[in-house]
Amino acid sequence: MMAGSKMVRFIERGLLLSGLLLLIAFSLAHIHRYVMYRAEMTRFEGNLLKPAEGRSKGGETVGGESHLGSLHQSRNTDRSLWSVQHTRLYQASLGKPAEILAVLRIPRLHLEAPVLEGTDEFTLNRGVGTIAGTSHPGRAGNIGIAGHRDGFFRPLKNINAGDVIELVTTSGTDSYAVDRVRITSPADVSVLGLKAEPSLTLVTCYPFYFVGPAPKRYIVEAYLKQ
């Protein structure tokens, strides 16, 4: 009986130690991810503050500082709702270089994400990406941006009509107002077509909490504020 009790205590201590080590490893991974994310964003901000000839009026610098300095505010992106799998994929992608085209921000949802070129797995593990055949940040037209439902675009489940979406580029900040949110099929590409006015379309999979490939698409349509 005594030997059995010692064995139980030994197993309990072993499990406790294993749990503690896993908790420490998880915490260190989150810290490393945050540091690398800040490094990428700081590099982008450095480009914003560089004097540039031919920059549009909205992005002109005054006294060596750009009005885009608002990007230097504290990082508000809440990654606590990310899935474990996407967190690991994001972590694995941090060692590879990526050129940031813009930064997408939704202040009310505390969402801030780097916008990269394309929608391949590396891109969507690292940030959100521009959809082929649509316009690009800072340009006219319909800008299509895709993101993972279990990553940067998880907060979109709480977006409402009227919410403001900001796209920050080296040319300035464009603000869009959400017009509507709808659910559609993956085959419906009409959401990415040209619209009557400059627009922004965010795309992610739906439902947000679904095991396996999601069968539908969650579409956020917004128009440039005049």
Q: Which residues are catalytic?
A: 148, 205
What are the tokens at 211?
């095991």
| Alpha-carbon gap, residue 14 to 80, rounded angstroms | 28
Cβ atoms of 106 and 164 closer than 8 Å: yes
Residues 72-108, buried b or exposed e (16+ Cβ, 10 A)? eeeeebebeebeeebbebbeebbeeeeebbbbbbbee
CB atoms < 10 A from the CB of 17, how many?
Answer: 10
Cβ atoms of 160 and 178 closer than 8 Å: yes
